[in-house]
Amino acid sequence: MRMYPQGQSKKVLTSYKLLAAFAVVAGVLVAPAAMIQSRDAGAASLTQAHSRHAVQLYAHPASSGALITAGPSRKSCIYAGGNLQPGLSEAEAATGTSPTCVMAYLNGAQTWSQWVNPWITQSVHGYTSWVAASPNRRQLVLQVDLIPDSLTNQNDPLGWEQSCAAGQFDNYAQTLGANLVNAGLQHSVIRLGAEMNGPWETDYIGTTPQEQSLWASCFANEVTALRGAPGEDFLIDWNPNACYMNVPYKNYYPGNQYVDIIGLDLYNGVCSAPKESTTPITWSQLANEPAGLTAFEAFAKTQGKPMSFPEWGLLQNANGDDPEYVNGVGSTFANNDFAFETYFDAGDSGTLQIDSSTPLSLEAYQKWFGSD
């Protein structure tokens, strides 16, 4: 899911018809992780989601660990829109939960100067004060592109990939790390180059083995540089998108020494389903599609790494209120080596919120992810 800086989440593509121009593979459509969004830095606030209502909580024990770890910490996070408030408070009221980790997107920087000085470090947006209020319990999950938008070339990424693989961007990555630490965000989970297998991404891996190998070298260099920032305690999440391209993970995996967590963005839509399908998608279909959950779990197990669902959520598709999907995610999360999950609860870009408008999914969500 593409987001842009300064707390904005205003979308260019808000329906599947508009999305098709970017997210069609052999005539089929994928989940909204493929959606491109526009930068609207001048907007004063997010367009408000539909009204939310608190409902009865079905309590389920949450992880007692303080922070996300590179292990089965099983922390439940949320993305409730680009601005921290009122989205977070509304999500808490609607779900009866109190997340201690929140996701944000740092992509959309046009220059290296903007890239190393991300909007989220500015106190006006509220994220730094939210973390500072409970620094041993609260943390951010941050999507970070490998490069600023000015360098992007999805059709031929070889140029920037070669420069990055040669170490020419290392100083920028270390400066970014230092700036995050100075803002009190040293415990952040970094989704570096997230959804890299999607051709809509600024830092797309490319189509050839050479491009993909260089991408992995670039990732490794920037991780090393981020870890060189004094005081950092970052966790690095290597995070492809489900089913897209079906490129072997090994082609662009940087190596275990550069990865703490292996994540998969998994919405309840499959690449094999026609974009106008009126047939609900089953959990089995979703799990077993090419480059889907089953393949992802096997790869993570081979690498000996904990997993995550950095983005998951209900789509506005034939499934509608879909407790089977929520139960599938919840059971997988609870019974395997998962570090964290993040529900995409912004309620835009063709997604649905977890609230009284999706009562069956809400009950399932509370069963698996509810607080004590």
Residue 259 lies in a domain: yes
Of 37-51, 163-177, 283-297, 358-372, where does mean pLDDT reach its minimum?
37-51
> How many domains is the chain built from?
1
pLDDT band of residue 336 (cuts 50, 70, 90) is very high
- Please give the average per-residue pLDDT across 78-92, as a whole number: 94
- Please give the average per-residue pLDDT across 301-317, as a whole number: 96
β-pairing, 139-144 with 261-263? unpaired
- Please give the average per-residue pLDDT across 168-183, as a whole number: 98
CB 146 within 8 A of CB 88: no
pLDDT band of residue 349 (cuts 50, 70, 90) is confident
Which is more confident, 194 or 270?
Answer: 194
Q: Is the pLDDT of residue 230 over 50?
A: yes
The pLDDT of residue 277 is: 74
Residue 321 lies in a domain: yes
Domain that holds residue 192: 16-39+54-369
pLDDT band of residue 246 (cuts 50, 70, 90) is confident
- Please give the average per-residue pLDDT across 243-272, as a whole number: 92
**Secondary structure string (H, E, C) spanning 202-267:** CCCCCCCHHHHHHHHHHHHHHHHHHCCCCCCCCEEEECCECCCCCCCHHHCCCCHHHCCEEECEEE
Identity (one letter) of the amino acid at 361?
S
The pLDDT of residue 329 is: 98
List pLDDT tens digits, range 9-65. 333 222 332 233 333 333 333 333 333 333 233 333 323 333 333 333 333 344 456
pLDDT band of residue 273 (cuts 50, 70, 90) is low
List pLDDT tens digits, range 133-170. 999 999 999 999 999 999 999 999 999 999 999 999 99
- Please give the average per-residue pLDDT across 357-370, as a whole number: 96
Residue 9 lies in a domain: no
CA 269 to CA 242: how far, in whole Å?
10
pLDDT band of residue 245 (cuts 50, 70, 90) is confident
Residue 183 lies in a domain: yes
The pLDDT of residue 131 is: 98
Q: Is the pLDDT of residue 127 over 50?
A: yes
Residue 95 lies in a domain: yes
CATH number at residue 317: 3.20.20.80
Residue 44 lies in a domain: no
If we measure between CA atoms, which residue out of 161, 165, 143 comes closest to residue 153? 161
Q: Which long-range contacts (CB under 8 A, 24 or more apart) does 119-126 make?
A: 119/5, 119/6, 119/7, 120/183, 120/185, 121/179, 121/180, 121/182, 121/183, 121/185, 125/6, 125/7, 125/83, 125/84, 126/83, 126/84, 126/85
Q: Is the pLDDT of residue 200 over 80?
A: yes
The pLDDT of residue 32 is: 36
Q: What's the chain's average pLDDT?
A: 84
> How is 67-125 classified by DSSP, letter by letter?
S--SSS--EEEEE--SSSTTHHHHHHHHHT---SEEEEE-TT--SHHHHHS-GGGSGGG
The pLDDT of residue 64 is: 52
The pLDDT of residue 274 is: 65
Residue 191 lies in a domain: yes
The pLDDT of residue 99 is: 96
Which is more confident, 28 or 227?
Answer: 227
Residue 269 lies in a domain: yes
Interhelix angle 359-369/87-95, rounded to 10 degrees, is 90
List pLDDT tens digits, range 204-221. 999 999 999 999 999 999
The pLDDT of residue 35 is: 35
The pLDDT of residue 275 is: 63
